[in-house]
Amino acid sequence: MTKFEVTILGSSSATPAHHRFPTAQIVNYNQKYFMVDCGEGAQFQLGRYGFGYNKIDHIFISHLHGDHYLGLVGLISSMHLNGRATELTIAGPPELLEIIDIQLKYSQTVLRYPLKFIPTQTERPEVIYRNSEIEVETIILDHRIPCTGYLFKELPRGRKIIKEYVKQFNIPPDLIPHIKEGADFILPDGEVLPNAVLTVEPPKPRSYAYCSDTIMTISILEQIKGVDLLYHEATFLHDLLQRATDTHHTTARQAGEIATMAQVKKLIIGHFSARYRDLQPHLEESKAHFANSHLAKEGFTFEIGQQ
């Protein structure tokens, strides 16, 4: 099965605390690396967990609170200093491009590699990346400033042809794509070999939803329904519900409730307030409403599609 996994680089909200760095993640799909948010210290964490700068070709920024993007310009600069030549694509709020440009302007830095910028918007979800295997779609969240999550979805594959039958029935190579798409095969004597005999069902497409800073909102439920893995912020415990509401954040209990309502397979909670050293109460509070809950511990890798 194609590798599809998420590695946590940072899980703290607002400031580094208790050996936790601000938010950053790496999504690895078939050895193609996507970075999701880039908080302070992200490039240190990349080295710590074995991800080279030049493995990353796309960076998705959710919003313009510093704990989600203040590591970005440093990373861009380090890529430049380390001789990167390939294009880097960054997606995020339109104003982010101005922030990047002004930093490069006043440091008199002319990047050695092309930088492509994709502005996001918060009116409706949109696909901002697609290749032959996977696509990335924005999720409109409800925070104090414009904020988008990101939904990574495998694209459906054709049926898988049984190799032994290719040799046994001498199936021409140019017919194999058609058989994968559902065609039958006709033998020289006119006998029809049904597609269902020649092929097997492809693996079910997998998905990962990243829900950055947001108040609890049911508006995202239909879009994230049934995902294999959901990351949802859980900044506070539920006894600070009013604080969460005032700051447009979510509690661990609410994250568990969202996971249950969306019928997801597995939940990761993160973006923990610096007031909490011990995160076990977060896990217990979330598990009380969604049993398959896990903490976004730094350095942990979650395989998508495995329970």
pLDDT of amino acid 170: 85
pLDDT of amino acid 35: 98
**Whether the predicted pLDDT of 177 surpasses 80:** yes
**Whether the predicted pLDDT of 180 surpasses 90:** no
**Whether the predicted pLDDT of 178 surpasses 80:** yes
pLDDT tens digits for range 242-256:
999 999 999 999 999
pLDDT tens digits for range 46-62:
999 999 988 999 999 99
Give the number of other Cβ atoms within 10 Å of residue 285's Cβ.
22
Over residues 201-224, the mean pLDDT reads 96
37, 67, 213, 228: the catalytic one is 67
Written as six digits, the tokens of 141 are 């969240």
Extended strands (E) in the chain: 4-10, 24-29, 32-38, 56-60, 88-92, 115-119, 127-130, 134-140, 148-154, 160-161, 185-186, 192-193, 199-200, 207-211, 229-233, 267-270, 293-295, 301-303
Identify the band that residue 45 occupies on the pLDDT scale cut at 50, 70 and 90.
very high
**Whether the predicted pLDDT of 307 surpasses 70:** no
- How does DSSP assign 108-157, residue by residue? T---SS-EEEEE--SSS--EEEE-SSEEEEEEE---SS--EEEEEEEPP-
pLDDT of amino acid 103: 97
**Whether the predicted pLDDT of 201 surpasses 60:** yes
Identify the band that residue 197 occupies on the pLDDT scale cut at 50, 70 and 90.
confident
Q: Is 67 a catalytic residue?
A: yes
Instruction: Report the percent of the chain where pLDDT is more than 90.
Output: 82
CA-CA distance, 291 to 35, in Å (whole number)? Answer: 28
Over residues 198-210, the mean pLDDT reads 92
Q: Exposed e or buried b for every residue in 169-189, given b needs 16+ CB within 10 A?
A: eebeeeebeebbeeeebeeee
pLDDT of amino acid 306: 59
pLDDT of amino acid 162: 84
pLDDT tens digits for range 113-134:
999 999 999 999 999 999 999 9
Average pLDDT of the chain, as a whole number? 95
pLDDT of amino acid 101: 98
Per the CB < 8 A criterion, the answer to whether 267 and 290 are in contact is yes
pLDDT of amino acid 184: 87
pLDDT tens digits for range 243-299:
999 999 999 999 999 999 999 999 999 999 999 999 999 999 999 999 999 999 999
**Whether the predicted pLDDT of 164 surpasses 90:** no
Indicate the domain borders of the chain.
4-157+203-303, 160-200
Over residues 162-180, the mean pLDDT reads 84
CATH architecture entry for 4-157+203-303: 4-Layer Sandwich (3.60)
**Whether the predicted pLDDT of 190 surpasses 60:** yes
- The DSSP 8-state label assigned to residue 227 in this structure reads -
